[in-house]
A and B are shown apart, each in its own frame.
Chain A
Amino acid sequence: MTDDPDHKPASLLQQDARTKARNAAEKRFRWYGIIAIAISMIALVVLLATILTAGAGAFRQTYLNIPVTLDPAVLDPKGNRDPAEMAKVLTLSYGRVLDAAVEATVARHGIRIEGLSDKDIDGLISKEASAQVRDRVLAEPDLVGQTVEFDVLTGGRIDGYFKGRVTMDSAARDSNTSPAQLQLAQELANRGEIVTRFNWNFLRLADASDQRPEAAGVGAAIVGSFYMMLVVLFLAVPIGVAASIYLEEFAPKNRWTDIIEVNISNLAAVPSIVFGILGLAAFINFAGLPQSAPIVGGLVLTLMTLPRIIIPTRAALKAVPPSIRDAALGVGASRMQSVFHHVLPLATPGILTGMILGLAQALGETAPLLLIGMVAFIRDIPSGLPQGLFDPASALPVQVYNWTQRSDPAFIERASGAIIVLLVFLLCMNVLAIWLRRKFERRW
């Protein structure tokens, strides 16, 4: 075989040098592929594992169960149970009532810990707790004078202790807590007074100030993101699909349509923050729409999403075989009938996929929203539609950005929790895209 000048193999049972080299190259290439996939899978797993471990805590919350004697002398000084009058009593007074209740509970259990101060005992509960109790009392004025069991939020450090974020060591170096306080919390937990439950409030409540991470939630961000997605859905999708159909099926192919085409591709590549500047100038400064409002965020994201819907929609229309158009025209269908009866149904799965991926991208977009004021501290959930579109709101990715800026490590947990919420929404949208694609896919 080696002597053969034409490199012809002497036998089929023996591989010649060329075949061996080719097979080796093929094998190497397979390994490159496997390694590439392995790296990306590992990266994904590490990412998800990090976020899940960091963010799982946000979905659990520790509460202290205490009987609170709602002293009428403090909470309703006039004694007429008029909510309007009672509203003048500030959370500060409720704080004193709660402090007394916590101290009473500790005393009742006879817990004695060396170095435990009253400040430590009062610090068990969140600063948010007094607002929690006040809201409840104002809603039900008849509670005043009674002793009512309350599940109040524990402080961020206590919460962190039960989630493993705060340890005795770290507490010793922390001015906001002390080992004695944690010991007390442990004692109360052993007696069943401190419990950890699923934290629905994380999904329901709005943001909270720096001192009370335990009360912060993504409610306002979810509502804000949802409203923005509605705006994008009702603006970007019809405009984008109509533009694609016109450009692909009706527009003459000339210099103007070429320019439009190039610009749509360019627009898709414009950094999203530029759209934020545009939105600030056009919608807020010029049109006078309110800052931080989902309507403005939605409009900005609509501009950003349009090219990202137009491009896949055009691709989907282009993928419909021309023979279908010929067939429709051949039996005397008008251009519009051929598009709407035949081409569009065949392009639907592609259009829907593009649309949902565009929406998903818009859902995760942060930069343009920072410029139109959605990064502001939002304490209230936006109201219902349509007024809610003009209320200040946050958005999920912006909320994540916001929380990662705060100093208290408890906010990192919240930020990871918000990322999990965001990822769940994105996952749902992708599953929906796949499902729609399957449902509408037709073979021809």
Chain B
Amino acid sequence: MYDTNRRVENAVTPKDIKIQARKVQVFYGDKHALKDVDVDILDKTVTAFIGPSGCGKSTFLRCINRMNDTIPIARVEGEILLDGEDVYDRRVDPVQLRAKVGMVFQKPNPFPKSIYDNVAYGPRIHGLSRNRAELDGIVEGALRGAALWNEVKDRLSEPGTGLSGGQQQRLCIARAVATSPEVLLMDEPCSALDPIATAQVEELIEELREQFSVVIVTHSMQQAARVSQKTAFFHLGNLVEYGDTDDIFTRPKDSRTEAYISGRIG
């Protein structure tokens, strides 16, 4: 088994490896969508996945919390270790896994319920609070964590769908944070947002890094450069290059990476 205390040397500061993927293959029916992905994702770090559309970056992200299980034709091979435990082990219940690995989706998708209920839903179904006061505390903490508390504290009973797009996305982040996950997966969280809302979410990601391992899929290379410490470049189902964000954007080793970041492919 993998030793969680092992230190890695390539990070700026030595950190724990949170997720370790080995030879991950994903098939959609006959289509080989993801080939031999090996990657180590660090704790308390923002890792960005970049690459052209259809390159498999979202597919890989959805493997980490087994959201691909909901697609009947999807098949995953290889292993993804979360703290040394294979998430595709037969004994793993995806429900328990998803409480540990939160997810924020491309389009803000708050439940058509009140702001409070949106955030409280996760803690409720996982039984994280013993009473109402404790639940109130969790909700407030999560909303503060998502930098939304000051904007919504007076209207917690209003529907979450009534918020603006950027607020909705931060509500979704609060909802994901409320179950106190260890990893936060973000699938193009800003693609439906305007620049101001994007800036707010990016700022938030920077803060979330202190508590979680954040993995973000993005189409915007500027965004990857701004928010991440590590970057992985995917192309045609392959993980082409993975390393420190600064290195990827300034001294790419692979010619395909260079072509992509300079805008020649993708």
Contact = CB atoms under 8 A, between A and B. Distances in A.
Given A332-B98, A346-B112, A326 B125 contact: no
A325 interface: yes
B177 to A, nearest CB: 10
Contact of B172 (A327, A332, A334, A444): A327
Given A337-B125, A442-B112, A329 B105 contact: no
B175 interface: yes
Interface residues of B, number: 28
B109 A324 contact: yes
A333 B125 contact: yes
A330 B98 contact: yes
Interface in B36-78: 65, 67, 70, 72
B103 interface: yes
A330 B111 contact: no
Do most interface residues of chain A lie in helix, strand or loop, or is the interface mixed?
A: helix
A205 to B, nearest CB: 50
B112 A329 contact: no
A332 B126 contact: yes
Contacts of B172: 327
B176 interface: yes
Contacts of A443: 112, 161
A437 interface: no
A328 B176 CA distance: 10
Nearest to A334: B95
Interface string B110-125: 1110000000011001
B96 interface: yes
A346 B161 CA distance: 14
Given A326-B109, A327-B109, A329-B70, 5 more contacts: A253-B72, A324-B111, A332-B179, A333-B95, A342-B111
Interface of A: 252-253, 321, 323-334, 337, 341-342, 346, 442-444
Interface of B: 65, 67, 70, 72, 95-99, 102-105, 107, 109-112, 121-122, 125-126, 161, 172, 175-176, 178-179
28 contacts: A253-B72, A323-B105, A323-B107, A324-B109, A326-B70, A326-B109, A327-B105, A327-B175, A329-B67, A329-B70, A330-B65, A330-B67, A330-B98, A330-B102, A331-B102, A331-B125, A331-B179, A332-B95, A332-B98, A332-B99, A333-B121, A337-B125, A341-B125, A342-B111, A442-B112, A443-B161, A444-B110, A444-B112
